[in-house]
Structure 1
Amino acid sequence: MLPDKKFLIDLAHTKMPYGKYKDRFLIDLPEYYIVWYHGKGFPKGKLGDMLRQVYELKVNGLEYLVRNIQKGYTK
Structure 2
Amino acid sequence: MEINPDREKLIELAHYRMPFGKYKGRYLVDLPEPYLVWFQQKGFPDGKLGDLLRSMLEIKTNSLESIIRKIQKHFPKETR
- Normalised to the residue count of structure 2, the TM-score between the two structures is 0.85
Equivalent residue for 1:18, pick from 17, 20, 33: 20
Aligned residue number for residue 67 of structure 2: 65
Identity of aligned residues (%): 58
Q: Kindly name which structure, 1 or 2, has the bigger radius of gyration based on alpha carbons.
A: 2
Structure 1: tracts of 5 or more residues without a match: none
Letter in 2 for 1:28: D
Moved over 4 A (4+): none
Structure 2, unaligned stretches of length 5 or more?
A: 76-80
In structure 2, distance between residues paired with 1:38 and 1:2: 25
Q: Alpha carbons of 1:47 and 1:3: their partners in 2 closer, same or farther (altered >3 Å)?
A: farther
In structure 2, what is the Cα distance between the partners aligned to 1:44 and 1:70?
A: 25
The normalised TM-score by structure 1 is 0.90
* One-letter amino acid of the structure 1 residue matched with residue 17 of structure 2: K
